[in-house]
Chain A
Amino acid sequence: MSTRLSKGGRLIDRSAALEFSFNGKRLKGYRGDTLAAALLANDQMLVGRSFKYHRPRGIVAAGPEEPNALVNLGSGGRLEPNQRTTVTELFDGLEAASQNHWPSLEFDVGVVNNYVSRFLPAGFYYKTFIHPRPFWKHVFEPIIRQSAGLGSAPKDRDADRYEQAYAFCDLLVVGGGIAGLQAALVAGRAGARVLLLEQAAHWGGRAPVDGDVIDGKPAGDWVDAAVAALEGMENVTLRARCMAAGVYDHGYVLADEKVADHTPGDGRPKHRLWRIRAGKILTATGAIERPLSFAGNDIPGVMLAASVRDYVVNWAVSPGDRTVVVTNNDDGYRTAIALREAGLAVPAIVDARANPAGDLVAKARSLGLRIEAGRGIAKVKGGKRVTSVAICLQAGEGAVIDEIACDAVAMSGGWSPVVHLWSHCGGKLTWDTANACFRPDPARPPLNHDGGAMVHVAGAANGAMKAAEALLDATAAAEAAVTALGMKPKKAKAPVAEAVAEGPMEAVWIMPQGASAELKAKMWLDYQNDVKVSDVQLAAREGYESVEHTKRYTTLGMATDQGKLSNINGLAVLAQALNEDIPQVGTTTFRPPYTPVTLGALAGEARGEIFQPLRRTPMHEWHERNGAYFEPVGLWRRPYCFPRAGETHEQAVHREVTNTRERLGLLDASTLGKIIVKGPDAGKFLDMLYTGVMSTLPVGKCRYGLMCNEQGFLSDDGVVARIDEETWLCHTTSGGADRIHGWMEDWLQCEWWDWQVYTANVTEQYAQVAVVGPNARKLLEKMGGMDVSKEALPFMQWADGRLGGFPVRVYRISFSGELSYEIAVPASHGAAFWAALHAAGAELGAMPYGTEALHVMRAEKGFIMIGDETDGTVIPQDLGLDWAISKKKEDFLGKRGQQRTFLASADRWKLVGFETLDGSVIPDGSYIVAPGVNANGQGKTQGRVTSTYYSPTLKRGIAMGLLHRGPERMGEVVEFNTVKGGTVKARVVNQVFFDKDGEKQNV
């Protein structure tokens, strides 16, 4: 039985009882409890099942290293899988459910895997699911996917909100234990801007639990004073519940602040992801206790020794009346002493060392505790709960000497510094033989831009395990960091912790050292992923020498806890099996995040309306009010069509096309890119950018132009207008404005930096409206204010003036084949101008039209569209645009590229039109089939469709496409494949389907 003690508990408030539920059971806890502490207080030791064998799993640890006690937390919009109960603060109404079992936690069918475990060794999947080959995709993978994953994925929209924030500091101190606090004090006093992060809700780390004495007072008092002093410094910021997840180059750190995990629904952001830029980073991240590998070490009730102490001291929770302590170091004795002082029984301290000695050992002896020196645990007995331990000689093979009845086992295999943040950016480790652990190598830190250390490390994270050493180490590390920042540490008396004489620890990787194969098959290394000592040894026998390979083969350390408990033990076992030294085997790579960061925090504020910037034209609201159906064009939303009541989108498009061709259409063309290019060398510059000649364009006129990349492929197109002697305005595609502006600046800044040219992207300065159709001129004349006659404003010219009182620039250009004016007004008048055109145009049959009608009309005219007729592999010559490529110019971007033999060849797919024989519309994406098959047995093709529409004007399907030597094959009938199977026959025709001579636009 685990239970709540009647007294004590430094973190709980017994006056504030909280109610929560576990698997539907209503339970009680106190404010200050973690969920794990509250579960233990309610005798809920069994909290889950392991991944592979579905073995019963109990709470092992008391911190972020916990591998077992993961739950589905909350429900509906607040369901979070794989939440670690050991770091989940209890709140009233908390709902938790255990994972990875069916039908129930107590009785689980999947446990059958446990009984066949000898048939599921390391690499089982790799060995079994290889043959027969087709089985992988259709049989094995679906089954494995079905059984993968511990928690259940949330199905509802997240009810909470998240945000991100940027922070800057001179020194970022990670870890709010005594080392972190002391480091922050040193740096704060030196005047540095300090940001101190602590992942837990409280400060001080382990020292208050371990009974350390600092400056003659209990550690807790010193911690309180230090926090108060830091809070009093203006240059120091403290953030609790904030986990530094990753260290990146140039002092960049991501940290996840759990703002409202413990107060759900209070309106605050649930998490805040801090994006920190620090001058230097100091990690005081402490150390994690290692389990010992003995048979049955995964049975619920077997816990880390220091965690047992945490539960007793912090939350007044007893893991059981009788706890056997098993250790290879003196720290384990602290747990025995704490248990005894709490009035609980410690039937024995099983110490693997032959001659334990030191202050703590002496104190245990004086308390009358039974010490079994030189002994180990042969086996833990019990199913869902520990019932007893069998004792053996550590030096032996596991012959049982004695059996001790108990409810819990507190194990301590030594401590591993938390070196994750040190390692993320390449900090190297060194093997510390005395403590049998890897610790940061001060000679090989991660480096900053200046070659100096980016990360400093202090305290237990640096291998300074005892309080006295940790404080000295923190003072020195902080002084070094502050000095490296160019500041001067203030002289101050460093706090002194009372020294405790401890005997040396003794590395124990297998208990007992000569254990039989049968015992080793029950020694768990990775509790979550079910990796045992025998699995790692098998991997070694099968030739896996690299720790990285062994990790993947056995899945050691690949669970959600990322091997915080298992990695060092696993690689020590591997080293032994390979007969190598541990440092030679090395560690796997430490990668961010330190503990999981929820996707919501990574997304931050980007959800709902502000998921992505949505670009709106000045007329956007009008479009919304008038029922526009929008389509995305880049980040713009453009009306696709304006369906009327009872109309399908298709019908609306046909109506818009017909109305524009017969009367008057209005298009919001504001998204069209507009770039001003000005300067003495602007003409020369544009002649290099466009395939045609722009320098000779007379002022007042417009010319269509093509831009290619250096390879010769068509990149963008648009109409260029000459504004004055030195100024051109280049229209780009809607999606291309920023890209082409960047392209221009790239050439001007990096290649032709001595050319006198400036550019400005004025796309958004203007709202632009295309007034299109036979009544277009009538509308403008009705608006009044300038001469828009054929004589005054002929095709491909522009003029400034006023229309209806609006300041306008009118371009006589057409993308539809109709009489057409594109009118630019300052954006702040855009909505009013658009409304005025509609009001005045009503009697002329004015209707808005959308992008699809625009596409249909341009296809009827055989005009190409960047992105439809081009895909980055098409040159202008493929599209019959040779007329727009200057033969005279010495050079332009793409010229050389187009001279390459395979581009200059006539043997290419080229643009033509297609008319289906039956009048149907060729499906989008169709290929033109050719006889025969290729080397892969696939049917050959000789072209593809690029634009295909129903033409309401011609009342039949029309299409453009690329066909092998297309223009030479006019009149030929080719076949397009269809999605359904079969083909559609179409005749090769000229791609201009409508008004071939351009009479309609030139009136």
Chain B
Amino acid sequence: MSEPMSALGGAKSEGFASVREIGPLGMISLRAKADVKALPKAIKAAVGTGVPGLRRIEIEGERACGWMSPDEYLLVMPYGAVAGALEAIAKAMGGAHHLAVDVSDARAVFRVGGAKADQVLAKLAPVDFATLGTGELRRTRAAQVAAALWKEGDGFTVVCFRSVARYVFDLLATGATPGSELS
């Protein structure tokens, strides 16, 4: 069997901010209502975090849980940990109505780094980066496609669909062209 390949094989670009495709990264889309009693236990078991509040993401090392909608969470973890996490969720949720599905391969993930990383993203997403704090997640768009992003380290993590990975990478690299800094 082959090694899993991310959409762009770890493409990189250096401009006034750096753009790097990371992954493959493990991701689970978990759908359940916030008031399901077993939900905190399931999320804890899968990624070791609490249940994130509205538009928040809880990060624990390599694992995270992001709020995507009133009944949807995005669980992030190492690629190899997905099967175990799905089992843990199923066990914790018991008979409670939910849907947990592996979406690791349906996504592409980028790291946009550097002091002016927010300026690259401000060209693509209608997000007020000046007020976007650590631990906040934005489910938004990058130019013409859906994207989610959050602050991490000295930059941002950007998630999009796998099929448009090249488009989003090109957008980010173009946005980071030296000389086009916003300030």
Contact = CB atoms under 8 A, between A and B. Distances in A.
A275 B31 contact: no
Interface in B146-183: 161-167, 170-171, 174-175, 177-180, 182-183
A342 interface: no
9 tightest A-B CB contacts, nearest first: A832-B2, A828-B4, A758-B99, A805-B1, A615-B163, A827-B105, A764-B106, A168-B128, A765-B106
B123 A762 contact: no
A805 B4 CA distance: 13
A609 B24 CA distance: 24
Contact of A267 (B32, B71, B104, B179): B179
Contacts of A275: 126
Interface in B58-113: 71, 97-99, 101-107
Interface residues of B, number: 50
B13 interface: no
Contacts of B170: 609-610
B97 A679 contact: yes
A606 interface: yes
A545 interface: no
B163 A617 contact: yes
A890 interface: no
Given A606-B144, A615-B163, A765-B106, A165 B6 contact: no
Nearest to A806: B1
A760 B99 contact: yes
Contacts of A167: 122
B162 A827 contact: yes
Interface of A: 163-168, 193, 237, 259, 266-269, 272, 275, 277, 604-606, 609-610, 612-618, 635-636, 676, 678-680, 756, 758-760, 762-766, 802, 804-807, 826-829, 831-833, 836
Contacts of A609: 170
B163 A676 contact: no
20 contacts: A164-B123, A166-B123, A166-B127, A237-B183, A266-B179, A267-B177, A268-B180, A277-B128, A605-B143, A605-B174, A606-B143, A679-B97, A679-B99, A760-B103, A802-B1, A805-B2, A827-B105, A828-B4, A828-B24, A829-B5
B101 A605 contact: no
A676 B1 contact: no
Interface in B1-46: 1-2, 4-7, 24, 29, 31-32
Nearest to A763: B106
B125 interface: yes
A269 B119 CA distance: 14
B164 A165 contact: no
Given A766-B105, A828-B104, A166 B125 contact: yes
B126 A831 contact: no
A237 B183 CA distance: 9
A807 B105 CA distance: 13
Contacts of A636: 163
Contact of A616 (B24, B128, B163, B178): B163
A237 B122 CA distance: 15
Given A166-B128, A268-B179, A832-B5, 6 more contacts: A165-B119, A267-B177, A272-B180, A272-B182, A605-B175, A610-B167
B115 interface: no
Interface of B: 1-2, 4-7, 24, 29, 31-32, 71, 97-99, 101-107, 119, 122-123, 125-128, 130-131, 143-145, 161-167, 170-171, 174-175, 177-180, 182-183
Contact of A758 (B4, B31, B161): B31
Nearest to B6: A828
A165 B143 contact: no
A807 B104 CA distance: 14
B101 A613 contact: no
Contact of B123 (A605, A680, A828): A605
A613 B180 contact: no
Contacts of B1: 802, 804-807, 829
Contacts of B122: 165-167
Contacts of B131: 168
Contact of B99 (A604, A614, A676): A676
B99 A269 contact: no
Given A275-B126, A756-B97, A764 B105 contact: yes
Contacts of B71: 758
A465 B106 CA distance: 61
A612 B106 contact: no
A765 B105 contact: yes
Given A267-B179, A605-B175, A616 B99 contact: no
A168 B32 CA distance: 34
Contacts of B107: 764
A614 B106 contact: no
Nearest to B165: A616
B149 to A, nearest CB: 13
Given A760-B31, A828-B4, A765 B123 contact: no
A10 B2 CA distance: 70
Nearest to A802: B1
Contacts of B24: 828
Given A165-B182, A605-B123, A760-B29, A610 B171 contact: yes
A128 B128 CA distance: 56
Nearest to B161: A764
A851 B180 CA distance: 42
Given A166-B127, A268-B180, A806 B2 contact: yes
A163 B180 contact: yes
Contacts of B180: 163, 259, 268-269, 272
A423 B16 CA distance: 39
Contact of A613 (B7, B106, B145, B182): B145
Nearest to B103: A765
Contacts of B5: 618, 828-829, 831-832
